[in-house]
């Protein structure tokens, strides 16, 4: 079992930046892809970004391309999401997740492909 814990959320003005972290414990996740999802009130959970087990491949939702950067530090068992040029539409609870597949080259894009989830961290962007 892996436990994932997000941190770094908060309140920021439009145009500002935040860096989310996802720390894994209980299981080494260095052989698994990881991803970020978000859910705004009244909306379905949506894909934000994903990274392969070795960081060699990444994928982003169109809505965040060019503004968000996903990365990972396998030695620290931690994943990050650098969010720049934030917009009010980015307001949501952000969740990190670990893929169920070992050593997959393609980062998972669908929530059903993820086996472990964090509790989420709130990001609020004011206009």
Question: Within 13 Å of residue 30, how many CA atoms lie on the same side as its CB?
Answer: 6
Whether the pLDDT of residue 27 is over 80: the answer is no
Of the ranges 25-34, 47-56, 96-105, which is most confident? Answer: 47-56
d(CA 127, CA 123): 13
Q: Are 13 and 126 in contact (CB under 8 A)?
A: yes
- The strand pair at 114-117 and 92-102 is best described as antiparallel
| pLDDT score for 102 | 85
Pair 55, 10: CB distance under 8 Å: no
**CA-to-CA distance for 40 and 28, rounded, in angstroms?**
30
What percent of the chain is modeled with pLDDT above 90?
87
How high does pLDDT run on average in the chain? 95
Q: Is the pLDDT of residue 30 over 90?
A: no
pLDDT tens per residue across span 58-70: 999 999 999 999 9
Take residue 1 and report the two structure tokens written for it.
Answer: 């079992």
What's the pLDDT band for 26 if we cut at 50, 70, 90? confident
């Amino acid at each position: 079992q892996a436990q994932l814990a997000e941190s770094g959320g908060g309140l920021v003005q439009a145009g500002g930046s935040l860096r989310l972290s996802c720390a894994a414990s209980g299981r080494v996740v260095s052989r698994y892809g990881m991803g970020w999802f978000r859910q705004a009130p009244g909306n379905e959970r949506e894909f934000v970004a994903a990274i392969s087990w070795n960081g060699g491949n990444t994928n982003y939702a169109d809505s965040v391309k060019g503004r968000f950067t996903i990365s990972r530090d396998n030695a620290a068992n931690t994943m990050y999401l650098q969010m720049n040029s934030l917009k009010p539409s980015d307001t949501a609870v952000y969740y990190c997740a670990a893929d169920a597949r070992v050593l997959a080259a393609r980062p998972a894009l669908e929530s059903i492909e993820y086996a472990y989830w964090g509790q989420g961290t709130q990001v609020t962007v004011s206009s």
